[in-house]
A and B are shown apart, each in its own frame.
Chain A
Amino acid sequence: MDDVLWYVLASSRGGPTRVRLLQALEERPRNANELATELDLDYTTVRHHLDVLMDNNILRRSGDEYAAVYLFTEQVEAHWETVEEVVETVDATE
């Protein structure tokens, strides 16, 4: 899981954007639309990155397709110190 977090968040093209998404979700669960508004990104871009994060078992969806909010998986919560380390390192808000 640690390697996955580093790869998906630090060593891939969309990593910095995905870090911003995780930072927004850390404040509170949000749906894709809210995330797009919050980060001033395209809805399709946000959905793409959320799909990547779900493919890699970092996020899960609660509820139905459209209004669904995104939550961290248990697997990620078990590796939370790594998440914090990666987010702190990448921190795309500079």
Chain B
Amino acid sequence: MTLWLSLAWLSAGFNAVLLVLLGSVWLRNYRQHGASHTLGLLVVAAFLLVENGLWLYFYLLNPTFRGWFLSTGTDIQVGVTLLCGLELVALLVLARVTWR
């Protein structure tokens, strides 16, 4: 049952892509004017990018984690997948107000 595992790493991957896009907007603006508000958002994006990188490592490259994930119950699989899935929804909302 690899469906949830796939959904989980896809969410983490999309999060990383969105964070890079958001980060590029904030970095360009920050270099242009140096507002501390924008710097704050850049720092947030950097930490969230590391977080999603860590998830991607566990989901795709760590055999122990993958083994545990695939052998555990659906409730846990869904719950852990939602950690990245819900973050994706949050980042999409943020992207919408940032991209305008």
- Chain A residues with CB under 8 Å of chain B are 3, 6-7, 10-16, 48, 52, 86, 89-92
Contacts and interface: CB of A to CB of B under 8 A. Distances in A.
Contact of B100 (A3, A6, A10, A12): A12
Contact of B98 (A3, A13, A16): A13
A50 to B, nearest CB: 12
A12 B32 CA distance: 12
Q: How would you classify the secondary structure of chain B's contact residues: helix, strand, loop or mixed?
A: helix
A89 B35 contact: yes
- Number of contact residues on B: which range applies? 10 to 19
Contacts of B32: 16, 90, 92
A12 B33 contact: no
B41 interface: yes
Interface of B: 25-26, 29, 32-35, 37-38, 41, 97-100
A86 B38 CA distance: 11
Contact of B35 (A6, A13, A52): A6
A37 to B, nearest CB: 23
A11 B34 contact: no
A13 B33 contact: no
Contact of A90 (B26, B35, B41, B99): B35
A83 to B, nearest CB: 13
Contacts of A16: 29, 32-33
